[in-house]
A and B are shown apart, each in its own frame.
Chain A
C-alpha cells in the first residue's frame, strides 16, 4: 500500500460478534482483522448471513463487537459508551442504507439537515449546508419534496446528501442499490465512485459482483471470516 500508517483510518483486530439465538449463539463474526486507509473504496462481498452487514454496522459505530478491538481515527470505539458512539456516528460517519431510511414526514432538505441538528448547528447555517449538499447532487430543485414524492433513485441521492452533509471521514453504504433498478443503480454507483475520486473514503457492502466492481479493493467474507482481500484491477 502506498499510504503510510498515518493514512490508516479504520483498524479492526479480532472482531467477534455473537448474537443470542435459541439456546446458543449465532456467530456473525468469528475474528475479523480489517484495515481501511484514507481515500480507499472498499467493497465487502458475501452471501446473506456471511456477517458483512454486521461488520459494516460495527465499523459505523451502530453496533459494538462482542470481542476484539476497533480503532477509528485513533478512537478506541470498542471502549466507548452509547453517547460517545452517537457522537462518532454524527461527526465521522455517513451512512447510506438499502431502504434509504429517510423520515417520511420531513421534506428533502429537512432530512439532510438531520445530522446537523444533533451536531447543534444553528438553523441558518444548517439550512445552508443542507442546501449545498443537495445542490452538489443537483437535487436542490427537490428540496421541499417529501420522500414519497420522489423516485427511488432520488431518495437514495437524498440519503447520500444526508451522509455527506456533516463532512464525514468515512462513508458506509449497505447494499445502496438493493432497491433500485439497473439504470438507477448505475447512476448511484457512479456517484459513489465520484465521491471516492474526490477523496472520500468509502466502504460498501453488497452481494452483487457488478456493484462490487466499482470499488478499488474487494474483500470477500464468508461465515464470519474474511476469505480474500484483493485490489481490483481495471
Chain B
C-alpha cells in the first residue's frame, strides 16, 4: 500500500528524470557524434542569437536616445507620406519660417519654438576640406536640445536678425579641419560662404549612432540666404512645452494653428506631421519588433537544417541500438517508454545544442561589436540579449528536437520485441 503511494508520487516526473538520465548517458557515451549531430542546431541558434542581439543592441540605443530627448519636446516635419500619395500636393507641402512664428505667437502651451533646416555641405579651412552637417537655426535650439558652448557663445538673436555669417562648431570639426585650439574669431569656409567661429560646443557623443559633435550651426536666416528661398519652405520645427503632462493639448493646438496657416479645409489631410518623443518611441518599437521577427524567422530556417541532422543521426542511433530496445522491451518497457526515451534523447540533445549555440552566439555578437568599434564605428552600441531571445531560442531548439525526433522515436517504439532482440 505504501509502495503504491510512492509509486504514484514517483509517477510522471520520476520517469521523466529517469529518461533524461538515460538520454544524457547515451549522449555522453558518444560525445563527438553528439556534437556533430547538433552542430546544425548550434549554428542555427548561434546565427539567430548573434544577429538578433546585435540588432537589439542598436534598437535599445536608439530607444535610449529618444528617451533622452525628453518628454516635453516634439518635432514637426512636412507630411512626406502625403507627397508620395498626391503629386499635386507638392505646392502646399511645406513648413515655413512663418509657420514657426505663428506657433510661437498662437500656442500658449509652447515654451520654445525652434525652426531649423538641415543641409549637408562642404567645409574648409586653410586648404583642408571635409564635409559636415550644417544646421540653420535660432538661439532657442541650444536650450531645447542641450547644445551648450564650451568656448564663446551659441547663436544669438542678433545673429539671426542681421543674417550674420557666424557659426558655432561641434568638437569633431576642430579635428576635421585641424583648427587651432583658440579658434574663436577664425573664419572657415562653409559651402560658398565664409563664416566666423563664435563658439565651440561641449562634447556630446553619439546619438542614433551618429556623432552629435560633427555639426556646424549657423543662423537660420543666413542659411536661407545661402541655400536659397526654397530652404525657407522646408524647415523642421522643434517645440518644447511648459507642461509635459499636457502634451496632447499642445499637439492639438499646434495642429489647429498649422491647419489655419496652411488654409486646410475641414476633412483635408494634415500636410505636416507632429512627433512627440512618446509617439516616436512607439513607432520605433513597432518597427524594431517587426524587423527582429522577420530576421529571426529567416535565420531560423537554419534550425530546420539542424533538425534534419538530428533526425538523420537519431535514425542511425535507433538502428544501432535495436538490441538495447529489445532488451528494454523484454524486461517490460512499453512502447511509450521507448518512444519517450528516444524523444527525450533528441530533445535533450537539441537543447544542449541550443545552450551551446546561445553561448557562442552571444560571444560572436560581442566579438562583432568589438571589431566594429575598434575599426569603422567607434560609437556602435553594445549587443543586447533580452531574456525572450534566450528563452525562445532554447524553446525553439527543444521544439526542433521534438519535431525531428518524433519519427525516429516512433520507429523505435514500433519494433517487435523478438525482432529487436534477434537483430545483429
Contact = CB atoms under 8 A, between A and B. Distances in A.
Given A62-B418, A83-B335, A86-B335, A125 B6 contact: yes
Interface stretch (A112-120, A149-157, A212-220): A112-120
A123 interface: yes
Contacts of B10: 120-122
Contacts of B421: 62, 97, 101
A73 B397 CA distance: 48
Contact of A118 (B323, B324, B333): B333
Contacts of A114: 327-328, 331
A209 interface: no
Contacts of A199: none
Contact of A62 (B7, B328, B330): B330
A86 B323 CA distance: 16
B417 interface: yes
Q: Which of B3, B15, B329, B334 has the most CB of A within 10 A?
A: B334
A119 B3 contact: no
B15 to A, nearest CB: 7
B4 to A, nearest CB: 10
A118 B327 CA distance: 12
A105 B25 CA distance: 8
Nearest to A121: B7
Interface string A92-124: 000101000111011000000011011111110
Interface in A56-102: 57, 60, 62-63, 82-83, 86-87, 89-91, 95, 97, 101-102
Contact size range, A: 20 to 34
Given A101-B326, A103-B327, A125-B3, A119 B332 contact: yes
Contacts of A89: 329-332
A155 to B, nearest CB: 13
Nearest to A117: B18
Interface string B8-37: 011100110010000001100100000000
A86 B327 contact: no
Interface in B394-424: 417-418, 421
Contact of A101 (B29, B330, B336, B337): B330
Nearest to A104: B324
Nearest to B17: A123
Contact of B334 (A86, A103, A106): A86
Contacts of B14: 120, 122-123
A118 B418 contact: no
A37 interface: no
A57 B418 contact: yes
Contacts of B327: 101-103, 114
Nearest to B10: A122
Contacts of B336: 83
Interface in B322-357: 323-324, 326-337
A120 B7 contact: yes
Contacts of A119: 332
Contacts of B334: 82-83, 86-87, 118
A83 B417 CA distance: 11
A52 interface: no
Contacts of B323: 101
A102 B323 CA distance: 10
Contacts of A121: 3, 7, 10
Given A101-B326, A101-B421, A123-B14, A95 B331 contact: yes
A60 B18 CA distance: 26
A49 B1 CA distance: 46
B6 A105 contact: no
A51 to B, nearest CB: 14
A200 interface: no
A87 B324 CA distance: 18
Nearest to B327: A101
Nearest to B14: A122
Interface string A121-133: 1110100000000
Contacts of A106: 25
Contact of A90 (B3, B326, B331): B331
B415 to A, nearest CB: 10
A82 B331 contact: no
B391 to A, nearest CB: 30
Q: Which of A57, A117, A123 has the most CB of B within 10 A?
A: A117
A57 B7 CA distance: 29
Given A103-B324, A105-B26, A118 B332 contact: yes
A225 B11 CA distance: 45
Contacts of B3: 121, 125
Contacts of A97: 421
Contacts of A57: 418
A169 B165 CA distance: 107
Nearest to B18: A117
Contacts of A90: 331-332
Given A89-B332, A123-B14, 11 more contacts: A57-B418, A63-B417, A89-B329, A97-B421, A101-B421, A105-B26, A118-B333, A121-B10, A122-B7, A123-B18, A162-B331
9 contacts: A62-B329, A86-B335, A91-B332, A97-B421, A101-B323, A105-B26, A119-B332, A122-B6, A122-B9
The 6 closest A-B pairs by CB, nearest first: A90-B332, A115-B331, A118-B332, A86-B334, A122-B10, A83-B334
Interface of A: 57, 60, 62-63, 82-83, 86-87, 89-91, 95, 97, 101-103, 105-106, 114-115, 117-123, 125, 162, 166
